[in-house]
A and B are shown apart, each in its own frame.
Chain A
Amino acid sequence: QKEVEQNSGPLSVPEGAIASLNCTYSDRGSQSFFWYRQYSGKSPELIMSIYSNGDKEDGRFTAQLNKASQYVSLLIRDSQPSDSATYLCAGDYKLSFGAGTTVTVRA
């Protein structure tokens, strides 16, 4: 089993809607989680870090960590076409990355 898994397929949302991305993890050791955004052909960039249970908001982005259920989520509110990218979830244990979820925001 991979340390971090993102099983959702491509996500298409209309402009202005909320995009919801999920990530689950095994219990092998990650305590902190990170969301990266990767535009096509580019390298990933860190957009959110979450270190404790609960929600963390930064602008239009909200990260949620639920350690009891072992999942991490990212909400993108008021989605914009510029949010169209692949979003990667990572845990700090061995810096393991999920496969990513590709988001397309339709204008």
Chain B
Amino acid sequence: DGGITQSPKYLFRKEGQNVTLSCEQNLNHDAMYWYRQDPGQGLRLIYYSQIVNDFQKGDIAEGYSVSREKKESFPLTVTSAQKNPTAFYLCASTQLANTGELFFGEGSRLTVL
């Protein structure tokens, strides 16, 4: 079955540590996105990538980094520079860039201890 796989589902981190969240898709989609969701709030765009080896900052990119070395993969690193990293992180993809028909992974819940 085609879909988006995010791992890990739950992650605990000590302050000052970098963590990397994995996102893999087998939908052959060109564009991939990372969103952050805080309790009671909507989704805020962190980074997006429309093609391999290219990505753009979203609204809240500070403290995060990404890479897009393969079409199928778009990992997100939450660095120690991110002041409030505890959140629900969602990866999504879409066949064509700039369309809103997103397919989401199941999400990764990061908690900083």
Contacts and interface: CB of A to CB of B under 8 A. Distances in A.
A43 B43 CA distance: 11
Interface string A32-76: 111010000011111001000000000000000000000000000
Interface string B101-113: 1111111000000
B8 to A, nearest CB: 15
A11 to B, nearest CB: 14
Contacts of B99: 32, 92
A46 B41 CA distance: 18
Contact of A90 (B59, B98, B100): B100
Interface in A55-107: 88, 90-92, 94-100
Given A32-B100, A44-B90, A88 B42 contact: yes
Contacts of B40: 99
B42 A49 contact: no
Contacts of A24: none
A96 B104 contact: no
Contacts of B59: 94
Q: How large is the interface on B (under 10, 10 to 19, 20 to 34, 35 or more residues)?
A: 20 to 34
B74 interface: no
Interface in B23-44: 33, 35, 40-44
B101 A6 contact: no
25 contacts: A32-B100, A34-B101, A34-B102, A42-B106, A42-B107, A43-B106, A43-B107, A44-B90, A44-B102, A46-B101, A46-B102, A90-B100, A91-B100, A92-B99, A92-B100, A94-B45, A94-B59, A95-B98, A95-B100, A96-B45, A97-B42, A99-B40, A99-B41, A100-B41, A100-B42
Interface of B: 33, 35, 40-45, 48, 58-59, 90, 98-107
